Structure formats: C-alpha cells, structure tokens
Amino acid sequence: MRSIDLSQYLNGLSSYTELRFHENSNNDIMILNGNVVSNTKSVQGGVSARVFKNGMWGFSSSSDGTSEAISQVLKLAQNNADFLGGKSQSQDKKLEKSSGKFTKEFYTKKKKWSQKERIDFLQEVDTYITKTYPQLSSRALGFSCIDFSKQLATSNNSNGQTFLPRSHFRLNLTIEKEGKSFSLADTKGGLGEIEDVFSEPKDLFSMIDDLFHHLEKKKEGVLAKGGVHDVVLGHSITGILAHEAVGHTVEADLVLGGSVAGELLNQTVASPLVSMTDFAHSAFGEVCHVPVYIDDEGTPSQDAELIKNGQLKTFMHNRESAAHFGHKALGNARAFNYFDEPLIRMRNTAILPGQSELKDMISSVESGYYFTHTSNGQADSTGEFMFGVPMGYEIKNGQLGQAVIDTTISGVAFEMLKTVDAVGNDFKWMSSGFCGKKQRMSVSFGGPSIKCKINVGGQ
C-alpha cells in the first residue's frame, strides 16, 4: 500500500475527524480430497473518513484512493455528520482525546513464496495424510492468509502506520463408522506472513497425527450426559471462554446496550484464582498474534486489565464510551475493512495461567469431562455463553475414559467463573478466529486449563 501524508487533508477542519487508508489482502487455498477447490487472491482497499459533530458521527468511504476521492469522502462524512448533528439531542457528548504516533510493520524479510510453492506445500501435506491415514473418508486442508495495511491520521494529531499479516494452516479430517461421519478440525499459525510462520510440510505432520488420534477415539465415542458437571477445560478452550463469556459482556458499547456487567464493576465476578487481560500487543515477553499498537481512532494501545483476582476492574472502550464512563481509552476501537467504522473490539484476550498441573486437575474429578477442542462460541448480554465442543473425554474416578462426540457447553459467565477451583500452569494462544459483531474482526485469545462446573449438552 502506498504511503502518503494524510495529515495535510485534516488542516483547518473544525470537527474531530479521522482519515484512514486501509487495504486487506487475502490469499486462500483449500484442497478438498485432493481437489484445489479454492485458489484465490483478493485485495480490497480504499479510504474512509469519520467526523464527529454535536455528539453524532458521519462516515464515508470510497474504494478510490485518489486525492479527489480523499476530499470527497471527507466532504461526505462531514455532510453526514451535519445531517445527524443538526438533529442531535446529545450535543454534550465528548470524546476521550489521547493521541500518539506509531509505525509497526511485520513484513517478512525472507524470499516470498509463489502461489505454486504454497500449493505444492499443501499437496505434500495432503500426500502425507492419504498415505498415512487411508481410512479417512474426507480431508480438507488449506492456507488462509490475510494482511492488514493501515495508515491513519486524526485531527488531534494521531498518526499510525501498520502492516499486520496473519497466516494459518487449516485442517479438517472426517472418518466414517456405520454410515455416520465424524469430523475434527484444527489450525496452526498466527502473526506473520506465510514465509515467517511456516517452514517445511513435515513440521505439520505431528499436528495431523495428533488430530487423527483424537478422531479415532471420537469415532468410538459416546454422547455426553446432559446437565451440570465437573469439567476440566483444556487450554485450547479457555481462550474462547475469556473472549465469549467475559470479553463481550465488558465491551462498553454492549454495557450501554444493557449487558449485565454494567452493574458489576469493582465487584467479585470470579474465583480469586481468575485474572484476565485484553493484551494490546505483547504478553509474557512476546508479541501477541494480533498486536495493536495504535487503534483506528488513533488511541495508543495499552493492556486492559479486565479481571484481577476475581474482581471486575474495567470495560473496553472507544473514545466516546471512555469519555462517557470517565475511563481511559486503551486502544480497542478497530475496523475490519476500509468501509467499516471503528467498533469496540477485543485484541488478545486471555485468562492468565495459574499454578496447577493438568494431570492433577483431571485426577481430582470423580465424574465429569475433559474437553480438548472447541469450534465456535457465542455470548449474551446476560453473560450466558455457549461453545461448540467437538472433542472431549469422560473422566471417571480421576481417569480419562471414552471420547465424547460433538456437544455444547454453556453457563453464565460470572456464576461459572466463581466455580473455578484450579487454574493450570499451561497456556495456549488461539489466533485463527474471527469475531463477529456487525463486522468481522481478527482476534486472538488464550488461557490455561481450568477446572470448573459447567452445563453440558447431551442426552
């Protein structure tokens, strides 16, 4: 994406204004049973402007990036702000106006892979699968790569230029038994262009072996027994718990929309073993998978410490909600496409690791489940959440038993978190997902294994 001086367009504007150049590049390859069913590239970019007047927002965007187009989107955004601002009954609304300048670009320094090299890589992995596991009835594997290039200027002197690439390998295996199909999926990857995230096809073989091992067990699995059980949630699941069960309820726009968390600030919402942070860009001494150094409102990013030792400490904000609550904006306002306005979004949301060993947590359960994989999750304004769980195991007398086929777990976040009586010393980030809230958004989430009581769907 070309770099230009956006600030020149903001001189002399009377209303608070943001101007953003934004380009998303996708490269997707999917091989289904040996057929390349997707082999596509997509580049979508343009310019957008957002103007705040009398407590109302006007927004406009164009896929053209010319100087004329920039002037045009600024004019349209101002017109839209004038239209609403002229009817506003909330003229006293304010914005939190912290500002900063930041440039961070994660370009690879390695030789770029051609499309053919990407497909050859996947075909070598596919060959390994077909030779090693001929009993599979279906296999799908692919690369999903997306790069976000952004350049931002605001009328209160924020400037940002970022290039954040994300690359993932996706795998879905299916096996049949007595005419019924059983599937299991996994992903690997994270921050970086494909050349920096992957090296050799053989590096993925252990992931495939592991997934097939679980699938073999699942094929012989049983349905879960419905009801509330003692469970150990594996570290691949805890992250989605952090994101869905707690994260969404403490986004300030949802708090203003009626979320139950609105009444819980500075109250005990979880076991004292539970602490949770929405990391801005770095955690545990490493760069996170979705590092946000400056957000799409130009706010310099900082960590949002959401729960500390069981107490709810803050909400996540944009400039407007931060001013409303008298809190500090910490860089959570993000837009997915050039034609999207920034919304309050999570970044890298994690329950922090504790002291317990996974094996001790499992052995302490007399009757319950150990869940290892998750598919998707949803949250509610009440704090009630659900996750799809495509893989897990029974626990009987502290020992793992039969596999459990597809089920769903649910609970009420701030009740369920109070039942946590052990937090593992393991930790895993999950970074392949997109969060849906009007727009899609790349997010990562993570956590350790935890032991708790939770409602399990089943017979």
Partner 1 sequence: MELLKKTLNQLLSKGAEKAQLVFSENHKQEFNVEANEISLLRTNITKSLSLRVIKDGKQGRLSINKVDELSLSQAVEDVLSICAASPVDNGYDISSETGKFSFSSGKEEVKPEEAYNYLKAYLQQSQKEFPQVQQESVMVSYDYSKVFVVNTNGLLADINSGQYSVSNMFTAKEGERTSSFNFTGFLTSQLDVPLMEKMSTRKLLNESVLHLDAKPIGQKFNGDIIVTPHALTGFFLGGLLSHLRDGRLIDGSSYFKDKLGQNVLSSRLGIQVYTCDPRFAVSAPMTSDGFISKDYSIFNKGRLDNYLLSQYGSNKTGLGQTYNDGGLIEMSAGEMKLEQMIKNTKKGLVVARISAGAPGANGDFSGVAKNSFYVENGEVKYPIKETMISGNLFEMFNSMSEVSQEVLNNGSAILPWVKFTGVSVSG
CB of 326 to partner 1, least distance (A): 17
Short-list 349, 335, 346, 320, CA closest to 438: 335
How wide is the angle at C-alpha 428 spanned by C-alphas 386 and 376, nearest 5°?
A: 25
Cβ closest to partner 1, residue 361 vs residue 404: 404
Cβ distance 447 to 242 under 8 Å?
yes
How far is the C-alpha of 232 from the C-alpha of 395, rounded, in Å?
9
Cβ distance 346 to 325 under 8 Å?
no
Count CB atoms within 10 A of the CB of residue 160. Answer: 26
With tokens 């539970």, the residue in question is: 274
Cβ closest to partner 1, residue 80 vs residue 301: 80
CB of 210 to partner 1, least distance (A): 20
Cβ closest to partner 1, residue 60 vs residue 162: 60
Cβ closest to partner 1, residue 136 vs residue 287: 136
CB of 332 to partner 1, least distance (A): 15
In terms of phi and psi (left: phi > 0; alpha: psi -120 to 50; beta: otherwise), the region of 383 is left
CB of 337 to partner 1, least distance (A): 9
CA 99, 318, 334, 344: dihedral to nearest 10 degrees?
160
- The encoded tokens of residue 28 equal 């997707």
DSSP assignment of 337-369: STTS--EE--SEEEEPP-SB-HHHHHHT-SEEE
CB of 146 to partner 1, least distance (A): 13
Bridge pairing between strands 407-412 and 399-404: unpaired
CA distances from 459 to 183, 189, 222 (A): 20, 36, 10
Cβ closest to partner 1, residue 191 vs residue 456: 456
Cβ closest to partner 1, residue 258 vs residue 285: 258
3-state secondary structure at position 52:
strand
Length of the chain: 459
Cβ distance 307 to 276 under 8 Å?
yes
CB of 140 to partner 1, least distance (A): 7
Cβ closest to partner 1, residue 103 vs residue 138: 138
Short-list 321, 317, 350, CA closest to 334: 317
CB of 415 to partner 1, least distance (A): 9
CB of 254 to partner 1, least distance (A): 7
Cβ closest to partner 1, residue 350 vs residue 389: 389
Cβ closest to partner 1, residue 14 vs residue 35: 35
CB of 390 to partner 1, least distance (A): 7
Cβ distance 184 to 391 under 8 Å?
yes
Cβ closest to partner 1, residue 129 vs residue 352: 129
CB of 207 to partner 1, least distance (A): 20
How wide is the angle at C-alpha 90 spanned by C-alphas 87 and 94, nearest 5°?
A: 130
CA 335, 39, 116, 25: dihedral to nearest 10 degrees?
-10
> What are the strands, taking DSSP E only, across 192-324?
227-233, 276-279, 282-283, 286-287, 304-308, 311-312
Cβ closest to partner 1, residue 114 vs residue 266: 114
Cβ closest to partner 1, residue 275 vs residue 372: 372
CB of 406 to partner 1, least distance (A): 4
How far is the C-alpha of 155 from the C-alpha of 148, rounded, in Å?
23
CB of 71 to partner 1, least distance (A): 14
How far is the C-alpha of 258 from the C-alpha of 369, rounded, in Å?
33
